[in-house]
Structure 1
Amino acid sequence: MTHAHADTRTPTGTRTPIDIRTLTDSEFPDWLRVLNTGFLRAPTPTDRDVETRRSGVVIDRTQGAFDDSRCVATFRSFPQEITAVGGAAVAASAVTNVSVSPTHRRRGLLSRMMAKDLAAAKERGDVVSTLIAAEYPIYGRFGFGPAVSVAEWTVDVPRSGLDPRRPGPSAEDGGRVDLATADEVRKEGPALHERLRAEQHGVVNRTEHGWKLATGELTVDYDPWKEPYYALYRSASGEVEGLVAYRADDKWSESGQPQNTATVQDLIAVTPAAERALWHFVCSVDWVTAVTSGFRAPDDVLPLLLPDRRAARLMFVADFLWVRLLDVVRALEARTYPVPGALVLDVRDEAGLAGGRFRLDAGPEGASCAPTDASPDLTLDVGTLGSLWLGDESAVRLAALGHVTEETAGAAGMADVLFRTARRPWCPDVF
């Protein structure tokens, strides 16, 4: 086994090597303790937490940094698929559970674990690496770029203009909303989500383990399970086209008036009718005076569904999913483009994993991309290309910031025409 080492000085001044290695099963409980500490949870995991967490971990893609026998940093990745523009599923390496003990920060441990994982992902043939960044400044230096943003709204239900006494949109098109059990969600949810990710760029696949956690079949002690309410939307033909899971608090005014908030945990829909019906349903639940949307795309239709769109108060918009390209050719060929066009991109990658000069010939039916010696139209780093890949960012805007260099006049504008999408990408899942 090849180990990476970082040297640190002991109080006596001698150097002790910090060993970065692939985890073993016996080391997992200590590794989980370090992870809990980094994420500000109760440090010592219960036996159930160890069992549940271990069942979802690919151990040979899990790293620990060890100072003597003590684990001091954590890192793991797992196989994932992400939907490119146009609906193609792209092989990704998803990075998660990154932490460094406060006693061992600023010693290059994350850099070494990341370099090892990205090199392995490149060797496996993964097209991109993905992660959810807890802090913005960390991951740009590793070639990741913010590629998908999320937004959250709170709907003031009494002000929204919706009349809870009137049938919702589901009644108008012959569809219906039915309350559901966790068993029904586990049965219907996976196929519904597969339909969603076949058409919505930015969505990542969900695993069986993830569905079990989301529906309470598997639980962890550090985050006590509270069963949500579930509802399914069925079309007039009986086909499941939407799912919502939500929780509600129990808050009343001093005068006995309900002031309850429903918080949406998950809402996925594959037709406009299902999306309208489920939002109308959640906003019409008795005693609910506010609805918090959960993570949605910044151009989500929720505010526009309300007779008074000002009733949807935007709580935040933030970067969410970050993408690191590992294979420029396959990444650019995996997606579609709205119009025909060509660009020569000079991609800089300090890590040496995906840099080079490439000619992209793109169009609605797909694209071809190949290394070239031609003069570049745009020069940019690999993280910037990651931000452009799913269509959420503007090359013109990045050029104004100096993150894209326009070698040919108008090339940034052409990049926007080719890369940007009519609807923004969306990733509903934290991983």
Structure 2
Amino acid sequence: MTNKRPNVVVVFTDQQRWDTTGVHGNPLDLTPNFDRMAREGTHLYHSFTCQPVCAPARSCFQTGKFATDTGCYRNAVPLPEDEKTLAHYFKEEGYYTGYIGKWHLAAEEPVSRKRQGGYDYWLAANGLEHTSEPYQTTLYDNDGNPVELPGYRVDALTDAAIRFIDDRNKQDDPFFLFLSYLEPHHQNRTDNYPAPTGYEEKYTSAWTPPDLQALGGTSAQQLGGYYGMVKRLDEALGRILDVLKSLQIEEETIVLFTTDHGSHFKTRNHEYKRSCHESSIRIPAALTGPGFSQGGQKKELVSLIDFPPTLLDAAGIEVPEQMSGNSILPLVRNDNKDWENEVFIQISESQVGRAIRTKRWKYSVSDPEADRIYDASSQRYVEEFLYDLKADPYELTNLIGLRSHQEVAEVLRQKLLKKIEQFEKEKPVIQPAALKESGQRKVRETELEL
């Protein structure tokens, strides 16, 4: 290994559920490369987005700040030009930076240089789902010129990433590459999940997660294509890892694989995400390379907002104070005594909502009178959901308002208010839900804060 800082590659998918992976119990062998990466590197077993919708989640990843902090709390709000991104932080430390794929942080197509987040190399589209089709991929270079790439869209982006890695490996400076796929996001204009030819048929009527078995939604129609997309993405991840091995830089390159949010297949609202449920917020995540090899499986709760400081910290770059998350390196080093097992979630577009996820409980509130498009936050929320994730991991029974769970709700209410004040600098009021009788349900005192 050389004395230069480690290279960093982020492999970022779109709308991928955590339980598409073998290490999370999916029996279809969709993700052998991710599963191997998780076993040999560091697997973040409980990973969650901080905003279950595309652009806000991406703004959080690029800046390390919550969506309400940058103003990108919903889609179609461009990232402010003066916001520092990961590209800026890595460049300041001598990295060459590259972005390939879906951006979704500008309100223009092609994305002008001033809206490219400071990346040196640019081969991307703001709305890749609108500029391309499964077998027709149009991206744009730094100067806004269209670039047509052949092959299935996942493969086209992977080929471009391999060319980037091979070229930068011939240079002296380390590189930071953000590879942002569209898949397994639906194709907007047809509202379907177009897998590579022959892949959808292989997985149609295959294993269905229990929440989708119970609630249905569009899963019977769309899960085969969705799984086919996930399979091809994992094959792409394998190709990236193979290239690092071929170039003999796998031991000096950090790789993070994750996604922006999940998909509930129209079971929780009228579309695929934008809800507090595990199907929307829980995501796959694993790292390998310097600092993460043989890190093991970590069961602590980790947020997407923790990934930016983690990557900087692992590269030996000082984490900026303005970042809201925390580096997970203490967890990898088993120095986790101060880790807070709580995840704060902001929910936009479907509602103006807030949620907190602890090891056992999920608690969510919303403002039914707020404008879900124009209001970033509220001064008054109403309790909406409470789930006991130990007894009901697929969130099929909403406990909010039950007399038996009033103490639980109060504990979580205070935790959520504390998070809102910490990250949004506001002190709203949360109105308790109407009381309902509990039947035989009871909560032991020892279960209140688990």
Larger relative CO (CA 8 A, sep 6+): 1 or 2?
2
Normalized against structure 1, the TM-score is what?
Answer: 0.30
